[in-house]
Amino acid sequence: MNQELPQNFEHEKPAESLGGKIDAMKEAIHSHLKELDEQEAYYEKRRKPLPDKIYHVTTRQNAQQILREGLDPSKLMYEDSEVISLSDNIDFAIGVARVTQNTTERNLVVLEIDTRHLTPARVHNYLRKADPGNPNPIDAAEIHEVHYESTISPDAIKIVKYKKKK
């Protein structure tokens, strides 16, 4: 059963076709890497140490439970269930709380977190660069954002009074 190849058979075409697919895949990978580089430039991994104090804002009702039990990421209704969002900028933390909890500033409580109680391996520390052309003041400012991947002990948390800057 020796089969002969047709006269017009070009044995290199499948390899050329495969080469074209490989080139397209390489192009897609390079494009994706470029997008990731741009995203990282926007959310630059912060190399500075954490400030001594960072903030989380919640409702008055939630604050009492947090002061008793700690700040547990799995109990945060409006956030990723694996992290707690914190910031060194109280106005930013208030803005996040107002959006995620759909409430007024009057019902919000500022919680100050002592960062000495945090486990460094569970901290993801970011500096979001300012976007001065953005009309939203939260997006226009440079923001230090921290995501913490564990429960924060009640010993590290206290309520602070805060008056918004005019």
Segment 19-46, tens digit of pLDDT: 788 888 889 998 888 887 776 655 545 5
For residue 5, being part of any structural domain is answered with no
Residue in 112, 164, 160, 161 with CA at minimum distance from that of residue 137: 164
Strand partners, 112: 55, 158
38-to-33, 35, 133, 134 alpha-carbon distances in Å: 9, 5, 18, 18
For residue 129, being part of any structural domain is answered with yes
Asked if residue 82 and residue 51 are part of one domain, the reply reads yes
For residue 166, being part of any structural domain is answered with no
Contact 65, 146 (CB under 8 A): no
Q: What range does the domain containing 36 cover?
A: 13-44
> What is the per-residue pLDDT across 55-95, written as a single tens digit (0 to 9) for each?
999 988 889 999 999 999 887 765 556 888 898 888 888 88
Residue type, 19: G
Asked if residue 103 and residue 75 are part of one domain, the reply reads yes
Contact 111, 66 (CB under 8 A): yes
Per the model's pLDDT, the better-predicted residue between 151 and 130 turns out to be: 151
Taking the complete model, does pTM exceed 0.85, yes or no? no
Asked if residue 139 and residue 127 are part of one domain, the reply reads yes
Residue 124's CATH number: 3.20.170.30
Asked if residue 25 and residue 99 are part of one domain, the reply reads no
